[in-house]
Structure 1
Amino acid sequence: MKKLLVITFLHIPILSFCQLKSVIINNQTKEKIPYVNIWVENENVGTTSNEKGEFKLEIDDTKIIIFSAIGFETKKISSDSIKEPLELKPITTELDEIIISSKKSTQELTIGEFKKSKINHYFGCGIKPWITARFFKYNEQYANTPFLKKIRILTKSNVKDSKFNIRLYNINKNGEPENYIHDQNIVGIAKKGKKTTEIDVSELNIEFPERGFFIAIEWLIIEENKHEYNYTMKDSRKKLEGISYEPAIGTIPAETDENSWIFNQGKWRKVWQSKSTSRKFENKYHLPAIELTLIN
């Protein structure tokens, strides 16, 4: 008797990977736009354009890609429609008129103070272009020192001079960050190790809005921020390779989530409640360690 050979075909879906590659430019001046954060909509996948406006992003299918840069309209576009160059449209930020006098500042006020030695918890982005934001409420006492002089942020970096971006936002009716207060990049540089990174913004003449405002820290997925390391999983001796993009941002415990926000997957979300075993953070919320100096 002849044996019947039965061949079974397994229907395994084949994913089609492709690499998006382009350079991002200003559609009016044609200048290249650095540090544009790029996300796949509703997915935790993304990257950042480099100083030359160039980016690469690998995806597994046709997706909606979100492009976000300070001073430009956020753009959503299907991945199969991306061409080179890709253009972003500038937006006009309406700022209140500021009268500058020659009088030297005589008063300073510090808010949001933290002690570096007391902080051992950090936010890190891993390999995704996240943004974390902290809301600062207005207080009538700020009327005597209404201008922003310095921003201090607790950072911890495993590489030398890692870069991050600062975005300044107004607050919308839902309490979310929306509309830029300042329409240019404010780039911070974190030294290697645990440091208080200070950014002098006194020349920008930014006045504390009466509705309050957000200080947002944007991680940049660029080569100079890349940190490669080895680690082992619990109950395993096998060494694995990991990648993170620096720096990490120190956090302090808060009782509520009202002042802490995270931007990922192209959306703003409230920060989640901590499940840390540390008593200090148990059932608390992570608030970015940001300190402001105000002047008159």
Structure 2
Amino acid sequence: MKRWLCNKMTIKYTRFFLVGLFISLSGFAQKDYKGIILDANTKEPIPYVNIAIVEDRLGTVSNEEGIFHLEMNPVDFKGKKIQFSCLGYETKEIHVESAEMIFNGYPRILMKPYVHALEGILLTDANGRFFNDEIGYRNYGNNIFGYWKEGTSLGAELATRIKAKKGLRKLKTFEFEVWHTNLDSLLVRINFYDVNRKKGGKPGVNLNKSRKNILFTITKNTKIAKIHLESFNIYTENDFIASLELLEVFGEGDIELMLAGTLNTPGSFRRYTSMGQWERLSHSMAYHISSDLFVEDGKYQRVENKAKRSESKKSYITGFVLEMGRPVANVKVSNTNTKAVVVTDANGRYKIEANRNDTLHFFKDGFKQAYKQVGNKPTLNANLYREAK
């Protein structure tokens, strides 16, 4: 009799446990607010949309297919709004109470394309020409860095104010230096903001009016990243802010990413979540930008002469990158001291600013990396060997 009662109690306990587990799992699932974001006109997915309950530092980013997951309990955010923001689209807001919490589906979120005239910078009717102007910062051996680590959310950003001469300027390339990453790859977005002086110089309005995301994939082999910007037609007229935003992570393990910083402190900021609050940093990121600055004819000759005098003081080295005697195109050649970067042409030839004590780094996917010290000769060739499969 006692044995039967014991079995009966065990059966009841098991049933209670299973029911309790089901309720617990159901409650947990309801905390996963998810959906797919679509263009209201074409019904095509919109990738890399920022999603957040802004004032509560809770946010994420949709993936390439427009799908997103946002862990939250609606009870905790009663009366708040979920905001959806994306280049080229009107900002959308949904009350938390209206958000569809579906366990096994992805509710559709429709965003309307921005139909208003794009804001632009008045180019100028003055006579003049553009000349190359290098701005921003590099790391010259200082142990200063910015990082993303465990707990970093999608949409997190590292931003730095770029000091620039006043005048119309078109951005051509953007560079940053990667010191370490533990993951297979990370997708980042490059953003450019104006300086919001009413909020202490924090990032303001996004200057990218092209409606196209500026994307770059960081891998374990990335040392110095160089992104071409000409097709995005980004113009500035004063200081501005450049940032890197985390969009996707590929690989297992907690995120570890270290980027080179600099002693320059014109103003640097970070935020931990998509559309979160900006916090000031004590040092800046080593972001470097090549640009074209417009100079009126009356000043152009003086500026050009100054640039020529500066150029005459520089020393360059040239050479070829070869594989078994054959030229290798599109090899990234970087000076580990100055951080200057060039790419070999179709004939495998390169030219880069360097002094005799500098070291050059040669890199291309599929080949073993090579390092060579410049020395006293005006030319330096490098032989690359393919990695074993």
TM-score in same-fold range (> 0.5): yes
- What is the aligned partner in structure 1 of residue 113 from structure 2? 90
- Tell me by how many angstroms 1:86 deviates: 0.9
Q: Deviations along 1:112-150, whole A, 9 cap, x unmatched?
A: 23136434522215331312222223314x66xx32111
- Tell me by how many angstroms 1:72 deviates: 2.8
Q: Deviations along 1:265-295, whole A, 9 cap, x unmatched?
A: 54442314xxxxxxxxxxxx13122000113
Tell me, yes or no, if structure 1 residue 211 matches structure 2 residue 238. yes
- What is the aligned partner in structure 2 of residue 250 from structure 1? 260
- What is the aligned partner in structure 1 of residue 38 from structure 2? 25
Cα pair 1:20 1:79 within 8 Å, conserved: no
**Closer, same or farther: CA 264–160 of 1 in aligned 2, 3 Å:** closer
> How far, CA to CA, are the matches of 1:125 and 1:66 in structure 2?
25
AA matched with 1:212 = D
> How far, CA to CA, are the matches of 1:52 and 1:178 in structure 2?
28
Tell me, yes or no, if structure 1 residue 147 matches structure 2 residue 170. yes
- Tell me by how many angstroms 1:199 deviates: 0.3
> How far, CA to CA, are the matches of 1:42 and 1:114 in structure 2?
34
AA matched with 2:238 = R
> How far, CA to CA, are the matches of 2:153 and 2:51 in structure 1?
9
TM normalised by structure 1 equals: 0.70
> How far, CA to CA, are the matches of 2:130 and 2:238 in structure 1?
25
- What is the aligned partner in structure 2 of residue 78 from structure 1? 95
Q: Which has the larger radius of gyration?
A: 2
Gaps of 5+ in 2: 1-23, 101-106, 294-389
- Tell me by how many angstroms 1:97 deviates: 5.5
> How far, CA to CA, are the matches of 1:34 and 1:212 in structure 2?
29
| 1:19-168 paired onto structure 2 within 5 Å | 19-62=32-75, 63=77, 64-83=81-100, 84-91=107-114, 92=116, 93-96=118-121, 107-115=131-139, 117-124=141-148, 126=150, 127-129=152-154, 130-140=156-166, 146-155=169-178, 156-168=180-192
- Tell me by how many angstroms 1:264 deviates: 4.1
Tell me, yes or no, if structure 1 residue 263 matches structure 2 residue 271. yes
Q: After superposing the two structures, state which structure 1 stretch, 116-125 or 178-187, moved more.
A: 116-125
**Closer, same or farther: CA 32–77 of 1 in aligned 2, 3 Å:** same
Q: After superposing the two structures, state which structure 1 stretch, 114-123 or 130-139, moved more.
A: 114-123
> How far, CA to CA, are the matches of 2:163 and 2:257 in structure 1?
26
More helix by share: 2
* Matched pairs, number: 243
**Closer, same or farther: CA 247–77 of 1 in aligned 2, 3 Å:** farther
AA matched with 1:219 = L
SS of residue matched to 1:271 = strand
Q: CA RMSD in A?
A: 3.0
Tell me, yes or no, if structure 1 residue 189 matches structure 2 residue 217. yes
AA matched with 2:138 = F
- Tell me by how many angstroms 1:189 deviates: 1.9
**Closer, same or farther: CA 204–194 of 1 in aligned 2, 3 Å:** closer
- What is the aligned partner in structure 1 of residue 292 from structure 2? 295
> How far, CA to CA, are the matches of 1:111 and 1:61 in structure 2?
46
- Tell me by how many angstroms 1:161 deviates: 3.8
SS of residue matched to 2:231 = helix
**Closer, same or farther: CA 196–181 of 1 in aligned 2, 3 Å:** same
SS of residue matched to 2:42 = coil
Cα pair 1:151 1:200 within 8 Å, conserved: yes
Cα pair 1:190 1:247 within 8 Å, conserved: no
> How far, CA to CA, are the matches of 1:187 and 1:94 in structure 2?
22
**Closer, same or farther: CA 122–194 of 1 in aligned 2, 3 Å:** farther
AA matched with 1:181 = L
TM normalised by structure 2 equals: 0.55
> How far, CA to CA, are the matches of 2:68 and 2:269 in structure 1?
26
> How far, CA to CA, are the matches of 2:56 and 2:147 in structure 1?
19
Cα pair 2:189 2:213 within 8 Å, conserved: yes
AA matched with 1:34 = P
Quote the sequence identity (%): 25
